[in-house]
Amino acid sequence: MSTIFSQVEFSNDSIPKNAAKSSIGYFDLFAGGAFGYVDGFAGGGSINAMYANVLFGFGYVMDNKQGGLEYVEEGTNLNYYKHYRLDSFPITVGFYRPFGGMSLSASAGLSVLFYSEYVDVNTFSIFKSNATEIYSKTTLGFPYEFNLKFFSKKGGTDFGYGLKLFGNFGKYNYVGLGLVLGLGNYK
């Protein structure tokens, strides 16, 4: 009985070494506007890291609409204002391409969304009052984002700024555009 196997000697010297290659990881914050189920101010942040040429991200997106006067209670001076809010926690996977002093990235994934409606009495701002939550719903969504960033190296850490196009497909759809600021290693 004969066995046919080929044994090739493998050594660590045959693996190409690239000591100059650095890892990519950064944190960013953004603010802008969003349109869709909730139209209004949007903001958030994310932590991103690249592994094996794949960009992984975890973030938070808040979309808030300051509602107008909903109704006035007859015979009193009570005005009721309604506010709408979406909180999203996306986990994304995508690609990242740096070139020159800028980078492009695109990613998509899965998110948990929390939709809430609030009512305020005699005030327009949800931030200056005790708003009462009158409705809430939790659902899944499919987030996406596209980033164009410019960056400059300052003492080993890159400072980045640029534009972010972001959105979500699902029960509570939205799309937004914001300015983004970031800190980390972009190259």
Domain ranges of the chain: 25-185
Mean pLDDT across the stretch 89-113?
A: 93
Q: Are 126 and 118 in contact (CB under 8 A)?
A: yes
pLDDT in tens, 2-29: 444 444 444 445 444 444 455 788 999 9
Indicate the fold that domain 25-185 takes in CATH: Porin (2.40.160)
pTM: 0.77
pLDDT in tens, 26-59: 999 999 999 998 888 999 999 999 998 899 999 9
Instruction: Indicate whether 82 pLDDT > 60.
Output: yes
pLDDT in tens, 154-169: 666 788 899 999 999 9
pLDDT for 69 equals 66
pLDDT for 73 equals 64
Q: Are 78 and 72 in contact (CB under 8 A)?
A: yes
Instruction: Indicate whether 75 pLDDT > 90.
Output: no
Instruction: Indicate whether 152 pLDDT > 50.
Output: yes
Give dist(CA 186, CA 26) in Å, integer.
7
pLDDT for 125 equals 55
Q: Which helix (H) or strand (E) holds 1?
A: none
Give dist(CA 122, CA 130) in Å, integer.
11
Mean pLDDT across the stretch 78-104?
A: 88
